[in-house]
Structure 1
Amino acid sequence: MSLVTLKTELRQELKLTPQLLQSMEVLQMNVQDLAEYLGRASEENPLLEAESPASLQSAYAQLRRAASWLDAGPHSGTFLHEEGAVPERGAADRETESLAAFLRDQLERRHLAKPLLALCVYLAELVDEDGYLTPEDLESLEDLKLPQELTDQALTELQSLDPPGVGARDLSECLVLQLRRQGACQASIDIASQFLPELGRKHYGPIAKALGITAEEVQAAEKIIAGLDPHPGRAFQPAEPTVYVQPDVFIVELEGQLKVVLNDYYLPRMSISSYYARLLKESDDAKTRAYLREKMRQAKWLLGSLERRGSTLRQCAEAILEAQRPFFAGETAELTPMRLSALAVRLGVHPSTISRTARGKYLQCRQGTYPLRYFFSLAVGESGPSRQAIKHRLLELVQKEDPHHPLSDQKLAQLLSTQGVQVARRTVAKYRLELGLGSSTARKRM
């Protein structure tokens, strides 16, 4: 019996061309990475010329005169193309040692089905530096309209990888994943999933009563939970204590109006070499023309990718300015709720495009330098304020409290309610922990 058969099959496949991959790569680069990438591209492609015209320096000097707060940074007044102006990035290139690379390597060894593997790799790229999946990234995942069964299966696969706890959506899930990996008792798992705020306040009695166990068992579980790692991804982070960034976008007041200014002052101006362009037309050697034709195609595609990156980043920043104008104008320190998917619909692009545009980029304004993702703060409830706004109000209440009689989480929830913010006590405890604030007992100062 022959094992070789012939059959006709009609199917649709989506394949990413090298050019499209390059465009996606350029889109998600910040200004520092892009400057290095363009330097390497100009060395590898003779048709690309990188210039640093003096007009860039004069334009940046004018911007600094219009916005004096630009001089507040540690590297203010420096110019990327000047001798020695670029700070060292670090001792080693850790790209191959990153958490995402470590997760991809594990996934490739599991021989998963292609759709599941592709989704798992996509999720691995979304995991943040602490090893968590943020609500904003999961929101963009929902917009892909994937089968829920496939999404759940991919999340389960990701959370089964090392380090234990990776891929969790919050602290409780991260601890539960580690406890299950260790084969811990059910009481420890229940406490980590349901009673972390109470455990932090050492309310052993209520926890023991709710779970039907003794206070001694709760204390034993506390020791186990205290030995877990709440940040499983940090082991893959560089050891440098200080991270220097260059903002990709400025929000400055020019001629009495707030405007978006892209930080192109640190990037070389890329152009096509006139000499090699003329050689392409005049050369009689077929191999030379074929080589230069391919390099010309690559150069034009790179220039197009740079133009699309700048256009997308500008549109994204202008939408952020429009939505958060009171913040940038100094009228409030609270952000208006803003979603990645809503901005994607407004700009007519896929949510993943907005996610790549915002990832790893920074915006500098009069108030300071912020990650671009900072301005995408989800609303609490259907039409409530943003999470950032609630955290800001919570921080103000704690700062104004009587240090001898600090406010409990329940009291903080009641005070927020009088301001029109309806949140549960557990939510207050969660936001308090994210702000690095201790419990009322820990904050009490005699």
Structure 2
Amino acid sequence: MSLAPRLDLRQSQSLVMTPQLQQAIRLLALSNLEVEGFIAEEIEKNPLLESSAAEDDGPVVERDAPEPARDEPASADELLMGGADSGEASLDVDFTSETFHHDSAADSGGAGMDGALGLNGASSGGAGGEDAPDLDSFASADISLADHLLAQAGTAVDGADHFIAAHLIDQIDECGYLTVPLLEIANRLGVPLARIEGVLGIIQTFDPTGVGARDLAECLAIQAKDADRYDPCMARLIDNLDLLARGDLGRLRRLCHVDDEDLADMIRELRAYDPKPGCRYGGEAAQSVVPDLFIARRKDGWGIEINAATLPRVLVNRNYYVELNAAGGDRASKAWLSDMLASANWLVKALDQRQRTIIKVATEIVKQQEAFFLHGVAHLKPMTLRQVADAIEMHESTVSRVTSNKYLSCARGLYELKYFFTSAIQSADGGDAVSANAVKAALKALIAVEGDKILSDDTLVELLNAKGFDIARRTVAKYREALGIGSSVQRRRARALEGA
């Protein structure tokens, strides 16, 4: 073995994730609204990028010379396997040109597949959406529970008691309950416990009725007192809510010393009370889900369209690049300008490829789940990411990214793309396997019509087997719990309480 120094040449291959490739992969997993925010950030950072979402007169960029024809861009999988250019070719395209790939009819002049509108019944070009008034902005801001209580405390107490009241209100959660023991608050403030209890009693008279309670029983008792219904019988009922939850009506009648009619009247009274009075105030406004895709039935098949209203078009301002480049500057400035141009070109290319990939995946989903779109959830077929990936010749991870955080709107409602990927349940008659969601839908339908004859899990297994679903009892229990449906014992008690 020689110990002399020498030079060796070695050749090896490795996959390098360039920043541009990482950006393209990250864009696949984002929803349309998230992409819109990402584009806004990129436009702020890159002076060569501009949005044409509000333009109706064609592209913003004017070209000095015709652009050379460019080849079909590589698929996402090809980019992953072999990398891609840094975007030297010009990608600022004319959206009215026939050479541009239209992911949907909305990409040409804002007209949708119905001739003038998009599949969602609104203009797909996005021009009217930005200029239209935001009706939500006219709604007054909801006052928080703490602010509502502090306003009442300002007129009910003053001095040191107001300070104590403010501290107590700060410990009340969003449901209206006091979550900290009074003794702990008394020790913290150095105030006698009796004084803390007195201030809490004042807070418990505030609106909403029941606020400031330390548990459910006290909350209901406060509301019963306010309604002048807190008699000894109602007090015993509220003190034994555990028996009411178990449906032990016979024992409750004996404890409250009432007959069936009076007990039923007391239970109806309790149901009218609010167990979470604080939830009426504050809280974040419910955010509606914006679909990323629209799917509609057409005479010649299915129409699949990207929701262009949430995706502003991004163009590269090459005129501005020529002006900056002609102005001269040092080497660092020109290098920075070149980087900005390459980054802008790559972003436009990545966005175009993202839309192509989403349309491709959605088309295959509709193809494999056509029975669902025609007849409903009972005809949903089991499907995996690999099945879609093999059909469209992409990697399974690419399909997973495309179907994450994205929703489609169709005649049957709004669905997440992940909803269509479910496990298979074997058919009892040896036929084709069925989707787990189809079994859940059948299970929910059976329980919905069970009436007074509560169905046990064993009975549900027999009924599902009769429908052709080969399913075990433990699977029925798992699906029932996933649907938020109680056991047969719990449903029987709930039915008894409803009839009380």
Closer/same/farther in 2, CA of residues 20 and 87 from structure 1, 3 Å limit:
farther
Q: What is the aligned partner in structure 2 of residue 387 from structure 1? A: 436
Give 3-state SS (helix, strand or coil) of 2:476's partner: helix
Alignment check: 8 A CA contact 1:339 1:377 kept: yes
Alignment check: 8 A CA contact 1:66 1:254 kept: no
Alignment check: 8 A CA contact 1:80 1:86 kept: no
Alignment check: 8 A CA contact 1:334 1:392 kept: no
Alignment check: 8 A CA contact 2:378 2:439 kept: no
Q: What is the aligned partner in structure 2 of residue 100 from structure 1? A: none
Closer/same/farther in 2, CA of residues 80 and 372 from structure 1, 3 Å limit:
farther
Coordinate RMSD, CA, aligned = 3.4
Alignment check: 8 A CA contact 1:249 1:263 kept: yes
For the pair 1:368 / 2:420, whether they are aligned, the reply is: no
For the pair 1:316 / 2:361, whether they are aligned, the reply is: yes
How far did 1:326 drift? 1.9
Q: What is the aligned partner in structure 1 of residue 111 from structure 2? A: 59
Residue 347 of structure 1 is aligned with which of 373, 392, 399? Answer: 392
Residue 278 of structure 1 is aligned with which of 314, 318, 322? Answer: 322
Report matched runs for 1:25-424 at 5 Å: 25-52=26-53, 53-54=55-56, 58-59=110-111, 80-82=129-131, 85=134, 240=284, 242-255=286-299, 257-279=301-323, 282-285=326-329, 286-330=331-375, 333-381=378-426, 383-401=432-450, 403-424=451-472
Separation (CA, whole Å) in 1 of partners of 2:127 and 2:480: 39
Alignment check: 8 A CA contact 2:113 2:303 kept: no
Separation (CA, whole Å) in 1 of partners of 2:135 and 2:40: 13
Separation (CA, whole Å) in 1 of partners of 2:314 and 2:118: 27
Give 3-state SS (helix, strand or coil) of 2:289's partner: coil
For the pair 1:18 / 2:19, whether they are aligned, the reply is: yes
Q: TM-score, normalised by structure 2?
A: 0.52
Alignment check: 8 A CA contact 2:56 2:127 kept: no
Closer/same/farther in 2, CA of residues 396 and 388 from structure 1, 3 Å limit:
same
For the pair 1:443 / 2:445, whether they are aligned, the reply is: no
Give 3-state SS (helix, strand or coil) of 1:250's partner: strand
> Which one is further off, 286-295 or 9-18?
9-18
Alignment check: 8 A CA contact 2:422 2:436 kept: yes
Give 3-state SS (helix, strand or coil) of 2:414's partner: strand
How far did 1:277 drift? 3.5
Separation (CA, whole Å) in 2 of partners of 1:439 and 1:78: 52
Q: What is the aligned partner in structure 1 of residue 479 from structure 2? A: 431
Alignment check: 8 A CA contact 1:280 1:293 kept: no
How far did 1:44 drift? 1.2
Closer/same/farther in 2, CA of residues 380 and 298 from structure 1, 3 Å limit:
same
How far did 1:281 drift? 5.9
Q: TM-score, normalised by structure 1?
A: 0.58
Separation (CA, whole Å) in 2 of partners of 1:28 and 1:330: 30
Separation (CA, whole Å) in 1 of partners of 2:118 and 2:375: 17
Alignment check: 8 A CA contact 2:48 2:317 kept: yes
Separation (CA, whole Å) in 2 of partners of 1:407 and 1:328: 31
Closer/same/farther in 2, CA of residues 40 and 274 from structure 1, 3 Å limit:
same
Give 3-state SS (helix, strand or coil) of 2:434's partner: coil
How far did 1:396 drift? 1.2
Deviations 1:366-423 (A, max 9, x none): 111111111111212495201001101111111121x222111111111111121111
Separation (CA, whole Å) in 2 of partners of 1:41 and 1:281: 21
Question: Identity, % of aligned pairs?
Answer: 32
Instruction: Give 1 or 2 for the bigger CA radius of gyration.
Output: 2
How far did 1:345 drift? 1.4
How far did 1:324 drift? 1.2
How far did 1:84 drift? 5.5
Separation (CA, whole Å) in 2 of partners of 1:332 and 1:29: 27
Give 3-state SS (helix, strand or coil) of 1:49's partner: strand
Closer/same/farther in 2, CA of residues 290 and 279 from structure 1, 3 Å limit:
farther
**Any stretches of 5+ residues in structure 2 without a counterpart?**
58-105, 142-245, 247-282
Give 3-state SS (helix, strand or coil) of 1:313's partner: helix
Separation (CA, whole Å) in 2 of partners of 1:43 and 1:349: 33
Closer/same/farther in 2, CA of residues 430 and 64 from structure 1, 3 Å limit:
farther
Alignment check: 8 A CA contact 2:49 2:344 kept: yes
Deviations 1:41-97 (A, max 9, x none): 112111111112338695369578675x758xxxxx995523564979xx9xxxxxx
How far did 1:437 drift? 0.8
Separation (CA, whole Å) in 2 of partners of 1:278 and 1:245: 42
Separation (CA, whole Å) in 2 of partners of 1:419 and 1:78: 50
Separation (CA, whole Å) in 2 of partners of 1:388 and 1:258: 23
Give 3-state SS (helix, strand or coil) of 2:294's partner: strand
Give 3-state SS (helix, strand or coil) of 1:268's partner: coil
Separation (CA, whole Å) in 1 of partners of 2:128 and 2:437: 34
Deviations 1:6-27 (A, max 9, x none): 9989876544221111101111
Separation (CA, whole Å) in 2 of partners of 1:371 and 1:66: 20
Alignment check: 8 A CA contact 1:340 1:354 kept: yes
How far did 1:358 drift? 0.7
Question: What amino acid is aligned across from residue 59 of structure 1 in structure 2?
Answer: A
Alignment check: 8 A CA contact 2:373 2:412 kept: yes
Separation (CA, whole Å) in 1 of partners of 2:470 and 2:291: 36
Give 3-state SS (helix, strand or coil) of 2:422's partner: coil
Equivalent residue pairs, number: 287
Question: What amino acid is aligned across from residue 376 of structure 1 in structure 2?
Answer: F
Separation (CA, whole Å) in 2 of partners of 1:321 and 1:86: 34
Q: What is the aligned partner in structure 2 of residue 231 from structure 1? A: none
Give 3-state SS (helix, strand or coil) of 2:311's partner: coil
Separation (CA, whole Å) in 2 of partners of 1:86 and 1:340: 40
Separation (CA, whole Å) in 1 of partners of 2:447 and 2:310: 41
Separation (CA, whole Å) in 1 of partners of 2:135 and 2:390: 38
Separation (CA, whole Å) in 2 of partners of 1:393 and 1:312: 34
Question: What amino acid is aligned across from residue 295 of structure 2 in structure 1?
Answer: I
Alignment check: 8 A CA contact 1:334 1:388 kept: no
Separation (CA, whole Å) in 1 of partners of 2:301 and 2:391: 23
